[in-house]
């Protein structure tokens, strides 16, 4: 039996994230200069300035889009780093406790926090503790003086070479076995993580958490939790992330994403993909991110834009499987972009009124509402359903022990032909003659002794929920007390 954190903030169970890269999301030029900025509509990378290519998105721009974000049904915004750095992505900081002036000032941040909270949106900040910019004063001092205390914060060999993230010389890695660094970042009274939480953020994402080690992640959570019991501490874990949930509140995992990509490419079967989900979730590891795109991966509309049924199914799985759904900015307007830097373009917000985009956003809103109003999707049991006779059918159900009639059945026909499988749903309250309704089409199926037989169109992912209204003046579900 795997044991996961018991003190995790409960609001994470209902969280739906929206990730923003501030430089590329929205720009408000009020009272600011546009000198040196790349044209907003330009293709990323076109200037040839690499990480120094700034488009000028800022905190005021984000604030102006809060109604749009809230209107999607999401409830948590994840900002990529806003600390001062020489690059637009800011994962190479030169000052962990300085707001990058290109994004605005402290008043702008205060206003963003206030306006987000006023709309019921939580805010998460992102920080790369594992490494700094080679321009950081700590590293510059360590480079010039082998006898300074900062030298021990980095790892140099006898020839003067230093350890750096993925071999990038511009990203020297910090050595977290050093007690001074632990004090600065999470143990000391005025540590870096507390600094940003005191600014009103509701939690932190630890970039490259797998590089920090289990021990450091656990130390971070253990030291921060008593002072900020409702602050969520999540970690980016690019490998299989389930073991990391023993120490972190949640993980930004790519396991769901890459399992679907492997299925789409044909390198695994539908059955293996479902087995992957069982491996990931059967032990209760439900606080892993479900995402289709991020700033580090190709945008999903570039990869699957021509496979509308597969993309629709992936989106529906994203919101109904255990875990925490996360949208990457611009997914709602079908933004395209392959690998970095293409996947970090600026949105064309005028597309919001296009018919196809309106339909996509309507589906997103319905899925968010479904998740919000279905306790079994955020805190219930989860169980896969296997069908030997239909190997291309991917099925599972979620149910709530507290409210037995709260059951959601998901059936995906990942084939090019119509399917009519008979599925066994081993839930003791799925009584004979209880009906389940498909949430998007309204069609119904009837349960018989725990068996249901849905009819699924080619590529269709259908979501079914119990409807207790098939018998006049009768309820299948009793709520008797005493």
- pLDDT digit string, tens, across residues 115-140: 999 999 999 999 999 999 999 999 99
Per residue in 389-419, pLDDT tens?
Answer: 899 999 999 999 888 889 999 999 999 999 9
Per residue in 45-75, pLDDT tens?
Answer: 999 999 999 999 999 999 999 999 999 999 9
- Cα separation of 62 and 60, whole Å? 5
Long-range contacts of 471-475 (CB under 8 A, 24+ apart): 471/433
pLDDT, residue 33, reads: 55
pLDDT, residue 1, reads: 46
Q: Three-state DSSP class for 356?
A: helix
Q: How large is the average pLDDT for residues 447-466?
A: 97
Q: How large is the average pLDDT for residues 100-127?
A: 98
pLDDT, residue 268, reads: 97
Q: In CATH terms, is domain 10-129+176-373 a member of 3.40.50.720?
A: no
Among 28-42, 411-425, 432-446, 451-465, where is mean pLDDT lowest? Answer: 28-42
pLDDT band of residue 29 (cuts 50, 70, 90) is confident
Q: What is the pTM of this model?
A: 0.96
8 Å CB contact between 85 and 54: no
Question: Minimal CA–CA distance to 297: which of 241, 330, 343?
Answer: 343
Question: Minimal CA–CA distance to 72: which of 364, 439, 374?
Answer: 364
Q: How large is the average pLDDT for residues 437-446?
A: 97
Q: How large is the average pLDDT for residues 290-307?
A: 95
Question: Minimal CA–CA distance to 78: which of 38, 121, 118, 35?
Answer: 121
Model confidence at 8: pLDDT above 70: yes
The reply to whether 10-129+176-373 and 380-467 are identical in fold is no
Burial tier of 469 (Cβ tally within 10 Å: 0-12, 13-18, 19+): exposed
Per residue in 312-352, pLDDT tens?
Answer: 999 999 999 999 999 999 999 999 999 999 999 999 999 99
Model confidence at 34: pLDDT above 80: no
pLDDT band of residue 35 (cuts 50, 70, 90) is confident
Fold classification of 380-467 (topology level):
Immunoglobulin-like (2.60.40)
% of the chain surpassing 90 pLDDT: 90
pLDDT band of residue 31 (cuts 50, 70, 90) is low
pLDDT, residue 383, reads: 95
pLDDT band of residue 457 (cuts 50, 70, 90) is very high
- Cα separation of 461 and 393, whole Å? 9
Query: Domain coordinates of the chain in residue numbers?
Result: 10-129+176-373, 380-467
Among 120-129, 259-268, 288-297, 385-394, where is mean pLDDT lowest? Answer: 385-394
Higher-scoring residue by pLDDT: 6, 18 = 18
Specify which residues 79 forms β-bridges with: 20
Model confidence at 32: pLDDT above 80: no
Q: How large is the average pLDDT for residues 234-245?
A: 94
Model confidence at 176: pLDDT above 90: yes
């Amino acid at each position: 039996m795997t044991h996961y954190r018991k003190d995790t903030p409960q609001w994470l169970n209902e969280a739906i994230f929206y990730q923003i890269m501030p430089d590329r999301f929205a720009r408000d030029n009020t009272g600011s200069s546009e000198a040196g900025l790349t044209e907003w509509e330009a293709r990323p990378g076109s200037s040839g300035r690499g990480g120094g290519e700034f488009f000028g998105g800022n905190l005021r721009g984000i604030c102006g889009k809060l109604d749009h974000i809230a209107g999607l049904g999401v409830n948590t915004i994840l900002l990529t780093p806003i600390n001062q750095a020489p690059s637009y992505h800011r994962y190479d900081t030169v000052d962990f406790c300085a707001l990058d002036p290109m994004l605005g000032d402290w008043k702008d941040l205060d206003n963003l926090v206030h306006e987000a909270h006023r709309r019921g949106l939580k805010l998460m900040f992102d920080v790369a503790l594992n490494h700094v910019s080679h321009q950081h004063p700590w590293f510059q001092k360590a480079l010039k003086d082998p006898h300074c205390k900062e030298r021990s914060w980095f790892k140099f060999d006898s020839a003067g070479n230093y350890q750096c993230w993925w071999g990038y010389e511009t990203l020297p890695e910090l050595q977290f076995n050093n007690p001074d660094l632990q004090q600065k970042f999470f143990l000391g009274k005025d540590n870096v993580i507390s600094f940003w939480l005191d600014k009103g953020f509701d939690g932190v994402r630890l970039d490259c958490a797998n590089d920090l080690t289990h021990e450091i992640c656990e130390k971070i959570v253990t030291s921060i939790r008593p002072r900020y019991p409702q602050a969520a501490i999540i970690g980016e874990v690019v490998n299989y992330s389930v073991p990391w949930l023993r120490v972190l509140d949640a993980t930004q995992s790519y396991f769901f994403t890459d399992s679907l990509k492997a299925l789409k490419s044909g390198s695994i079967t539908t059955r293996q993909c479902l087995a992957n989900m069982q491996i990931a979730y059967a032990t209760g590891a439900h606080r892993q991110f479900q995402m289709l795109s991020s700033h580090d991966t190709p945008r999903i509309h570039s990869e699957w834009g021509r496979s509308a049924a597969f993309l629709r199914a992936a989106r529906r799985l994203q919101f109904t499987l255990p875990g925490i759904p996360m949208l990457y900015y611009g997914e709602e307007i079908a933004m395209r972009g392959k690998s970095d830097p293409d996947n970090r373009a600026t949105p064309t917000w005028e597309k919001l009124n296009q018919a196809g985009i309106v339909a996509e956003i309507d589906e997103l809103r319905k899925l968010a509402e479904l998740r919000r109003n279905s306790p079994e999707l955020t805190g219930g049991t989860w169980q896969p359903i296997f069908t030997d006779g239909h190997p291309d059918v991917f099925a599972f159900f979620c149910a709530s022990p507290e409210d037995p009639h709260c059951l959601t059945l998901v059936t995906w026909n990942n084939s090019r032909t119509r399917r009519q499988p008979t599925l066994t749903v081993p839930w003791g309250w799925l009584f004979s003659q209880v009906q389940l309704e498909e949430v998007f089409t309204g069609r119904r199926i009837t349960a018989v002794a725990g068996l249901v037989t849905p009819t699924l169109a080619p590529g269709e992912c259908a979501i079914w929920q119990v409807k207790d209204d098939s018998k006049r003046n009768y309820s299948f579900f009793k709520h008797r007390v005493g």
